[in-house]
Amino acid sequence: MGSTGAGMSAVEVGLLLLFALTAGCCFGANVTYDQRALVIDGRRRVLISGSIHYARSTPDMWPDLIQKSKDGGLDVIETYIFWNLHEAVRGQYDFEGRKDVVKFVKLVAEAGLFVHLRIGPYACAEWNYGGFPLWLHFIPGIEFRTDNEPFKAEMKRFTAKIVDLMKGKKLYASQGGPIILSQIENEYGNVQSDYGSGAEPYVKWAAAMAVSLDTGVPWVMCQQDDAPDPIINTCNGFYCDQFTPNSNKKPKMWTENWSGSFSSFGNAVPYRPAEDLALSVARFYQLGGTFHNYYMYHGGTNFGRSAGGPFITTSYDYDAPIDEYGLLRQPKWGHLKDLHEVIKLCEEAMVATDPQTTSLDSNLEATVYKTESGLCAAFLVNLDMQSDATVKFNGNSFNLPAWSVSILPNCKNVALNTATINSVATISKFVRQPSQEGTIASDAFISGWSWINEPVGISSDNAFTKLGLLEQINTTADRSDYLWYSVSVEINGNESKTVLHIDSLGHMLHVFINGELAGRGIRSNSGHEVSRDVPISLIPGENKIDLLSLTVGLQNYGAYFDTVGTGVTSPVQLKGLQNGSTFDLSSQQWTYQIGLKGEELGLSSGSSSLWVSQSDLPKNQPLIWYKTTFDAPTGSNPVALNFTGLGKGEAWINGQSIGRYWPTKMAPTSGCSDSCNYRPITFPVVGCSKVEM
């Protein structure tokens, strides 16, 4: 929904566009591991990986994203599989368009890169409902992510479906394909204690189930200290240099190095300086790591209603080296490319031996990889966050900037320091597109719009009545962000001024009295409910109270996140009536409508005959669908829509949803200054935050 102003929401239709050095590998038939590294065709490898989620970009973007990743020095592309994307209805699978993961994997292979396939099938990933399909919630007796037979049966069925799909296309390395790793579960160790006695047997079952699928490549579990053999436990976080696997027979692997973070409506946009990110990578390889992955290398876009929540933005840019639109983010991409080249110069020494670290002084250290055959690589480190230092190493003096690592591939000469950037910073800027008449005047722009008013309250033949207040997810099954709650109140005598008290677990709530907007409430990003007292006037006779409850992405993380409810809860009360009494409406008979009338009519296609085209475009009004047409700009540059001037809603282009927008929910005015320092003030941090304006 969208609105043309700071008023309540309205719906937007028709207008959305958000378009937003590695040697070529030969795919081997044998992938194993030892205590130092993954072993591919008998050779230990130092591997540099980056996450690109196929569904968060368009298929036309994939080849360029993959090539830019290869040019940036990656060996591996890592991606999640999103269960609810592929099996929105149980037993009905969709692998077309942006969902064509086979095509994506084949394109990675054509570029000469490996693939890490994170099947999960729980993903988190700031994806709606953590990637689980909503129908899973309604299976009798099911409990997610624990030793529960209904859940395990569904998890095994889908995991096997994906493995069989990849095997059928011969995409595992054991078949000559690019997939060298797969992941089962995801960050379960972070919440495992909450699941009590069912947790440990579930972990063991998940590991055994995965291995039984016989992919011929290793499996990993991230953030899972008790991952059973032969599953490799891996690290996620901003810094993983201190991570140690749970067996001296497993390599040190980092599946998520957060290149920035996700953004939420109303919060500042996270930003991680290139110098700090490069230091974290160098430290990991310095202290024995051999597989590292950027989460994200390209973040992309949460198209449609795929964003998790609540309040995750449509943009999943993540401050990644390749930005949301597929453009290089400089100097981050270039600085990391330089780092990767230098790491590769150290590879032969790194895989041949274990690192030896010596303290040079407080916060100063040197790590050396040295073999009897004369191979040598060194890392000199200054972990002081304020002061530069000069150190002696191998008879020479080296200057180390604060919070930095210098890499010496031959133990003699510094090839790179993580705090010294040689890449040129660039800032991408969108240029406003004139109209067909060559003007950008607002009157000409408005003349191209048409609209349809969304009815307030119950308007669908599919509405139904129930006693009491219903939980929203159980009612809508997430078929829509919207659920109408409607009740009638009879007032005897004169007009009555009173207060309507509402408690809601919804993310946003709009209150209408007799068809007129009376108030609204927005849940805070860190809160769990909306509680509002709305002053209202009731007329003699029948009065209609309509409550529109909204979700902005379903919960995607945390123990039992799947049980977190939304919608209007008890009590809903009329307080301060003429006789001073309080009337509780919670247990009255309510009428419910799932979704909006415009959704039922398919207005997002833009083809309805109901559209109104007049010169007086309605503004600052709730519940309106808008439509316009335009010529796509020439060329192949990214295209974006500026939604400033709209309220909150969802947008479609040619019938395809490009996601939610909410420009009136502003970030705070605090954030990074122009002199933002890459050195963290406390350890560890992400650096700074930019304000989204």
Q: Which residues are marked as active site?
A: 187, 256
Phi first, then psi, for residue 345 (nearest 5°) are -65, -25
Report the alpha-carbon angle 650-671-520, nearest 5.
40
Phi first, then psi, for residue 8 (nearest 5°) are -75, -175
Report the alpha-carbon angle 549-301-631, nearest 5.
95
220 residue type, one letter = V
Grouping H, G, I as helix, E, B as strand and the rest as coil, residue 408 is: strand
CA–CA gap between residue 169 and residue 106 (Å, rounded):
9
CA–CA gap between residue 115 and residue 103 (Å, rounded):
13
Q: Name the E strands within 386-507.
A: 389-393, 396-400, 404-408, 416-417, 450-453, 464-467, 482-491, 496-504
CA–CA gap between residue 589 and residue 299 (Å, rounded):
46
Q: Name the E strands within 415-475.
A: 416-417, 450-453, 464-467
β-strands 376-382, 389-393: how paired? Answer: unpaired
β-strands 624-627, 11-12: how paired? Answer: parallel
Cα atoms found within 13 Å of the Cα of residue 414, Cβ hemisphere only: 19
Q: What is the DSSP letter of 24?
A: P
Q: Name the E strands within 151-247.
A: 179-184, 219-222, 232-237
CB atoms within 10 A of CB 681: 10
- The gap from C-alpha 197 to its chain's centroid, in whole angstroms, comes to 30
Which alpha helices (DSSP H) does 508-606 contain, by range? 597-600
CA–CA gap between residue 681 and residue 123 (Å, rounded):
32
Q: For residues 567 and 469, is the Cβ–Cβ distance under 8 A?
A: yes
Both tokens assigned to 115 = 């693939």
Both tokens assigned to 138 = 């309604």
β-strands 530-538, 496-504: how paired? Answer: antiparallel
Is the peptide bond preceding residue 331 cis, with omega within 30 degrees of 0?
A: yes
66 residue type, one letter = I
Grouping H, G, I as helix, E, B as strand and the rest as coil, residue 587 is: coil
DSSP string, 271-284: E--HHHHHHHHHHH
Is the peptide bond preceding residue 150 cis, with omega within 30 degrees of 0?
A: no
CB atoms within 10 A of CB 672: 16
- C-alpha separations of 693 from 169, 319, 432, 491 in Å: 46, 16, 17, 46
598 residue type, one letter = G
CA nearest 626: which of 430, 440, 492, 446?
446
Which alpha helices (DSSP H) does 527-636 contain, by range? 597-600
Q: For residues 148 and 199, is the Cβ–Cβ distance under 8 A?
A: no
CA–CA gap between residue 12 and residue 603 (Å, rounded):
10
Both tokens assigned to 328 = 């290089």
CA–CA gap between residue 345 and residue 352 (Å, rounded):
13
62 residue type, one letter = W
CA–CA gap between residue 591 and residue 487 (Å, rounded):
6
Residues in a beta bridge with 149: none
Grouping H, G, I as helix, E, B as strand and the rest as coil, residue 673 is: coil
CA nearest 655: which of 129, 265, 97, 62?
97
